[in-house]
Structure 1
Amino acid sequence: MKQKTDRPSLPGEGDNDYARYMRTDALLALQRRPDEVVHRDELLFQVAHQSTELWLKLATSELTEAVCRVDAGEPSAAELLLARATLAVRLVTDQMEIFNHLSPKDFQALQPALGSGSGAESPGWRQAQAASRKLGLAFDRLLAAHGTDLVKLYSGEPSDPVYRLAEALVEWDDRVSIWRVRHYRLAIRVGSHGVIGTPGSPSGMLAKLIDYRFYPDLWQVRAALAMGGPTSEGSVA
């Protein structure tokens, strides 16, 4: 029987295998040092945003694999991967509650440390958006391969794996939209992004994104069917 030892067996830096596998020395050194900060809440700000980038990295990985599964004709496997990506965005949204503990005054005080940085430059969100679009195209290819369209799909059985994948796409779209709404409200409450409705303000730009959807055709067919069904085969009102 192999005896457990306190000595690390993995290569890398750290006093134990947990530290070496998780690379905690590097991870915990990514935040600005106390002698670098202009305001103590920079740690709160960086931790929240850095962890967001990590969750989005996971979400993008799941979306990318889901594209492969869809193209392989495995909608059920893609649905499960999409559910994981959706949960990652939910966690990103939930952790935004920490910003309720950041006052406008304190945010203003730490702004010089941010330079001209903006959340619009987030690589995580850009990659997730690109993967979302690729997944939408893969879903279109799947419908074509099954010789069906959205009206036929939504008129069929909810147990259909392709139908379930369509609903998973709607849920992903909805969760990203919820994040956008939360981000917008925080920008108004804490971020000093201008009064609601001010032309050209950052808050105005965020507001325009609230109604954006990756998969508008899915939302349209669901709404049309709920209001009375398709006007003809293969089309919706």
Structure 2
Amino acid sequence: MLASPLPAVLPGPGGTDYARYMRTNELLALQKEPAEWVHPDELLFQIVHQSSELWLKLTRSHLTRALAHMGAEQVGAAELLVDRAAEALRLITEHLRILRSLPPAHFAVIRPALGNGSGFESPGWRLLRTATTELDIAFSQLLSSLRVTALDVYRGQPSDPLYRLAEALVAFDERIALWRAEHYSIATRVIGQGVLGTRRTPVDSLAALISHRRFPTLWEARTALTLAASHGICPARGQA
């Protein structure tokens, strides 16, 4: 026999504390009602993108906190938060895959309902770009304050906290690239190649973004190590 539910004690609308804390009434009212759909797959399209914005909001929060820890030279705490942010991007990328099941003919019906709206206008991705720029600057300042370079970091030990933070930033950068690759793949699968998106931008322009790096110094350090090794220079700092 099920126990009787406890009465709600939190303020706000909803019959349970779960509904009041999670604000489910408001959350579930953010999607179009069936009578408003131009096609039933609008619900799929809208929920995927709305949930992405929520994950991006969380990602931005983690990166902002990581930025504060980096400023205080709390390297381990910053690494943890950057790792979490990367995991959030992994989840965003994975749930995009359900859009592969969206038939092109269905999206052709949905597309006019988007107006001129485009993923390029996503507030979450705009804030993410700002956050990564701030993190790149903060990491450079951290290295400067410690009087080391990115090359010094990568010549050190992988167990070093600074090395681990550098790798967390690189992993996050990779997650952005993987999301962009998935986005491009799905876009071309649904609307084809050589066409214009809702913002009149060529869909193939998405491919050019995949190779863009948000933390270029950390990637350049890898290149420098490879070039040094090719010239017979020992890459390991302090190694005999």
Q: TM-score, normalised by structure 2?
A: 0.89
- 1:213 is aligned to 213
Partner-residue secondary structure (3-state), 1:164:
helix
Which residue of structure 2 aligns with residue 204 of structure 1? 204
Corresponding residue number in structure 1 for 2:133: 133
Task: Tell me how far 1:204 sits from its aligned partner.
Answer: 2.4
Does the C-alpha gap of structure 1 residues 229 and 150 become closer, same or farther in structure 2, counting only changes over 3 Å?
farther
Alignment length (residue pairs): 226
The alignment partner of 2:108 has SS state of helix
Separation of aligned partners in 1, 2:229 and 2:71: 29
Task: Give distance in 2, aligned partners of 1:13 and 1:192.
Answer: 45
Q: Which amino acid aligns with 1:117?
A: G
Partner of 1:235: none
1:174 aligns with 2:174: yes
> C-alpha displacement at 1:153, in angstroms?
1.2
**Counterpart position of 2:61:** 61
TM-score, structure 1 normalization: 0.90
Contact 2:151 2:224 in 1 (8 A): no
For the 8 Å contact 2:39–2:109, the answer to whether it is kept is yes
**C-alpha separation in 1, matches of 2:132 and 2:19:** 34
Distance 2:230 2:120 in 1: 38
Following superposition, the deviation at residue 141 of structure 1 comes to 0.8
Partners of 1:145 and 1:229 lie apart in 2 by: 28
CA contact (8 A) 1:75 1:165 kept: yes
Equivalents in 2 of 1:9, 1:193: separation in Å? 54
Q: Deviations over 1:105-148 (max 9, x none)?
A: 00001112111100000000000110111011110110011011
Q: How does 1:153-192 map to 2 (within 5 A)?
A: 153-192=153-192
Q: Which residue of 1 aligns with 2:108?
A: 108
Q: Deviations over 1:79-119 (max 9, x none)?
A: 00000000000000000111011011000011121111000
Structure 2: how far apart are the matches of 1:174 and 1:138?
Answer: 19
- What is the letter of the counterpart of residue 126 of structure 1? R
Matched-pair identity in %:
50
CA distance in structure 2 between the aligned counterparts of 1:93 and 1:170, rounded to whole angstroms: 17
TM superposition outliers: structure 1 runs of 4+ over 2 Å: 191-196, 226-232
What amino acid maps onto 1:40 in structure 2? P
Cross-structure match for 2:76: 76
RMSD: 1.9
**Amino acid in structure 2 at the alignment position of 1:108:** A
Corresponding residue of 2:30? 30
User: Which residue of structure 1 aligns with residue 145 of structure 2?
Assistant: 145
**Deviations along 1:184-228, whole A, 9 cap, x unmatched?**
1111101345369xxx85222211111100011211111331344
Q: How far did 1:45 drift?
A: 0.3
SS at match of 1:30: coil
Given that 1:193 and 1:201 are in contact with CA atoms closer than 8 Å, whether structure 2 keeps it comes out as: no
* Structure 2 contact 195–202 (Cα < 8 Å) conserved: no
Cα distance in 2 for residues equivalent to 1:230 and 1:133: 32
User: What runs of 5+ residues in structure 1 fail to find an aligned partner?
Assistant: 233-237
The answer as to whether partners of 1:158 and 1:164 remain within 8 angstroms in 2 is yes
Question: Counterpart amino acid of 2:67?
Answer: V
